[in-house]
Amino acid sequence: DTVMTQTPLSLSVTPGQPASISCKSSQSLLHSDGKSYLYWYLQKPGQSPQILIYEASSRFSGVPDRFSGSGSGTDFTLKISRVEAEDVGVYYCMQGIHLPRTFGQGTKVEIK
Amino acid sequence: QVQLVQSGAEVKKPGASVRVSCKASGDSFTTYAIHWVRQAPGQSLEWMGWISAGSGKTTYSQKFQGRITITRDTSASTAYMELSSLRSEDTAMYYCALIDLWGQGTMVTVSS
């Protein structure tokens, strides 16, 4: 199975400050179509996960532009340019090219 | 606006089976790839399998092979996930999901 490794596992951020989460996969997520099939989700407390980023760097409709994704192949990053109180929760990366689909362990983001 | 609405919470005894339903709104059901993902309390997300709602083709995680069956009823725009031979470790929130939208989750508790 493709192992997804997220770092850090927890993050405490002052509002207005940036945050960054890394996700590394044990196999390349680069498809022959040139896209890397890496997704980022946020699970707010008590809620289902919601998509933020698809195909490594495309922001889903309605997602604030303070969220951005980058990377290709095996190394990926989610950045929040200015963290807001509503961004608290657990962030997961997921690979969408190999079976079984696999998720990172999650990164818990809290506000200082 | 597509929505995925899941059936209600279940409590089962060890050895029993559970079936969770996932009804999709909208008129594009047969275009969906519907995934099933579970989350044990305090844990990360675990992919179980998926079904092509159009063809009915399924793929399961090796971990659940032999215990899981995913089906769909196109006339009801509903997908189903059945898990058999339940044990306490199967206690979790079970989600159906498209790549960009998740159901609200169904809590399954396995307890004697």
pLDDT digits (tens, 9 = 90+) for B8-34: 999 999 999 999 999 999 889 999 999
Which residue on chain A is closest to B100 by alpha carbon? A51
CA angle B107, B109, B112 (to 5 degrees): 170
Rounded CA separation B91/A57 (Å): 34
Rounded CA separation A18/B17 (Å): 46
- Look at the block and give the residue holding tokens 């509002």: A15
Residue type, A25: S
Rounded CA separation B25/B104 (Å): 14
B57 touches chain A (CB under 8 A): no
Parallel, antiparallel, or unpaired for β B101-102 and B92-98? Answer: antiparallel
A102 touches chain B (CB under 8 A): yes
A106 contact residues in B (CB cutoff 8 A): 44-45
User: Hey, which residues 20-39 in chain B have their CB within 8 Å of chain A?
Assistant: 35
Rounded CA separation B93/B45 (Å): 10
Contact state of A92 with B61 under an 8 Å Cβ cutoff: no
Q: How far is the alpha carbon of B12 from chain A, nearest alpha carbon, in Å? A: 23
Structure tokens at B105: 């989750």
B35 contact residues in A (CB cutoff 8 A): 101
Selected for mutation to probe chain B from A101, A105, A108 (highest B CB count within 10 Å) is A101
Tell me which residue of A94, A76, A106 sits closest to A8, measured CA to CA: A106
Report pLDDT for B1. 83
Q: What is the pLDDT averaged over residues B39-63? A: 97
User: Hey, which residues 31-60 in chain A have their CB within 8 Å of chain B?
Assistant: 39, 48-51, 54, 60
Q: What is the pLDDT averaged over residues B28-50? A: 97
Report pLDDT for B26. 81
Contact state of A106 with B44 under an 8 Å Cβ cutoff: yes
Is A64 a residue whose pLDDT tops 90?
Answer: yes
Q: Are the beta carbons of A12 and A111 closer than 8 angstroms? A: yes
CA A76 to chain centre: 8
Contact state of A49 with B47 under an 8 Å Cβ cutoff: no
Report pLDDT for B40. 98
A2 touches chain B (CB under 8 A): no
Q: What is the pLDDT averaged over residues B63-80? A: 96
CA end-to-end span of chain A: 36
Choose among B47, B59, B102: nearest Cβ to A49.
Answer: B102
3 state DSSP class of B30: helix
